[in-house]
Structure 1
Amino acid sequence: MNSSMLFIDTTGKSIILGAQTENGAHYYIGQEIEKKHASTILQKIEDFLYSSKINISSISKIGVVIGPGSFTGIRIGISTANALSKSLNASIISLNSLEIALFDRKSNVISVMDCLNGNYYSLIKTSENDYKYRILTKNDLNNFEGLYDIIPATEVSPETKLNAFIEKAETGPFLTRALPFYLRESSAEREDRNKDHYLITLPTREDIKRVFIIEQTSFHEPWSEKMIAEEIHLCNPTNIIIKDRRDDTIIGYVFSRIIDDTVEILRIAVKSEYKGAGFASLMINEIVERSRSLSIKSMILEVSCLNEPALRLYQKNGFIIEGRRKNYYKNGEDALLMRRLI
């Protein structure tokens, strides 16, 4: 019996299926109904194989896209591939969307996928054997423009995806079980990791220059090094920095001001390569705990009305909008006044 390969991708809004047989390639792209993947995937595979005249018993390899993408969608595809592999005694080939986008590219190219909050999952390929995964900001990507080709992983065609698996099937590795691909941990995993590797403490004079560097890359109107030094000199218990215990890297910081029973957040910033990993929320929670011990009843801050990532962060952490200051910033943007009860 002829040997065939089935390809499954449920990481996006549509189920994408493909197959390679001795008679050629076949494709299927479903409708964009992301929340129906679990209830439709097996029927879609059955219909696809029937319409493509492929006997399921001929399948000897199963390719599956393991991420990044929909949290639930990834697991549906992987679970389906693992179950079929076991029942058919077929080998599994797993690829992630970022490497699929670059499978036929040799050098100076980056595949990207929007992971919200102004960040992008990225695979940077400098040469055939030099590549690295990163979470990049929009500014980071702008720095690569002109030097690297930037390819959105979500725009890769089903034909390209199947071809990537066909190429991978020539050499392997072949697996008995696929696992999800992550560039960012779950919140529970981050919290557990943070306890072991990260330290939240008061900033000291030795931290001034490193905080200033983060400040310059984080704000359109950054504080001066002198202003940061003066703020650190106050030894305010709600001024904090978060450090990596392993190499003493400063990851982020919060500067604040206590006024009666309220703490006002003046500055909150995270180093660019650590953005999107939960450190801002971690610092906000730390300020909340410290404020409670000081009998502080609420936390306030100001944020640009156009700073959508920051707005999402604050709203996720319990802040609500209670006012607006017109033309507050030098560029004419309004400031939103936000408050959280403690």
Structure 2
Amino acid sequence: MNLKIIQLGIMNLNDCLDLDQKSLNGLWTRSQWEKELTDPKRICLGIIELETKKLLGLCSAWLVVDELHITFIAVHPIHQRKGLGKFLLKDLIRRSKALKTNQIFLEVKNNNDPAKAFYKAMGFKTIGNRSNFYKDGSDALILNKETSNK
């Protein structure tokens, strides 16, 4: 596959909604995605297959002063476990360093062992817990990665 990471915009709204639905059962609403794709303080990256222009994965984050807060990361179910999430997250980390961020934060469901292992392999450490964070009542672990820009 010939892949490329691109900056997503409002023209990618329907693809983001579709990928969100297929990978995370529609975590965000249309209006949330519209905000994510148009707010200049947010980064929204997608990984596309060049021949088909199909969106295979995406991640988004909010820039808050000198911190980056990852709000969404997903890979289409039929393309999971192929390194696409790692490719996306590495690119986001590279971009965060160019933006002079000092830390990256994210939340992950406390019972999502594959995601926790993935983030640990990418250098994230657990620094806290948010009780009853998700719609289903699950707790969230707060993860952090220093980006060495201090």
The TM-score normalised by the length of structure 2 is 0.92
Question: Structure 1 residues 288 and 254 mapped into 2: Cα distance closer, same or farther (>3 Å)?
Answer: same
Deviation at 1:234, TM superposition (A): 1.5
Is 1:273 equivalent to 2:67 in the alignment? no
For 2:25 and 2:5, how far apart are their aligned partners in 1? 26
Deviation at 1:220, TM superposition (A): 4.8
SS in 2 for 1:238: strand
For 2:52 and 2:22, how far apart are their aligned partners in 1? 21
For 1:321 and 1:212, how far apart are their aligned partners in 2? 29
Q: 2:110 aligns with which of 290, 305, 312?
A: 305
Instruction: For structure 2, list consecutive stretches of 5 or more residues without a partner in the other structure.
Output: none
Q: 1:225 aligns with which of 23, 27, 30?
A: 30
Q: Report the residue type matching 2:123 in the other structure.
A: G
CA root-mean-square deviation: 1.5
Segments of 4+ moved more than 6 angstroms = none
The TM-score normalised by the length of structure 1 is 0.41
Q: Which has the higher strand share?
A: 2
Is 1:262 equivalent to 2:67 in the alignment? yes
- Aligned partner of 1:284 in structure 2 is 89
For 1:273 and 1:240, how far apart are their aligned partners in 2? 19
Q: How many pairs were matched up? A: 147
Is 1:325 equivalent to 2:130 in the alignment? yes
For 1:311 and 1:201, how far apart are their aligned partners in 2? 25
Q: Check the 8 A contact 2:57/2:85 in 1, yes or no.
A: yes
- Aligned partner of 1:171 in structure 2 is none
Q: Check the 8 A contact 1:238/1:290 in 2, yes or no.
A: no
- Aligned partner of 1:253 in structure 2 is 58
Q: Report the residue type matching 2:60 in the other structure.
A: F
Question: Structure 1 residues 289 and 237 mapped into 2: Cα distance closer, same or farther (>3 Å)?
Answer: farther
For 2:27 and 2:66, how far apart are their aligned partners in 1? 27
Q: Report the residue type matching 2:72 in the other structure.
A: R
Instruction: For structure 1, list consecutive stretches of 5 or more residues without a partner in the other structure.
Output: 1-192
SS in 2 for 1:228: helix
For 1:316 and 1:272, how far apart are their aligned partners in 2? 20
Deviation at 1:205, TM superposition (A): 2.1
Percent of aligned pairs with the same residue?
A: 23
For 2:62 and 2:99, how far apart are their aligned partners in 1? 13
Q: Which has the larger radius of gyration?
A: 1
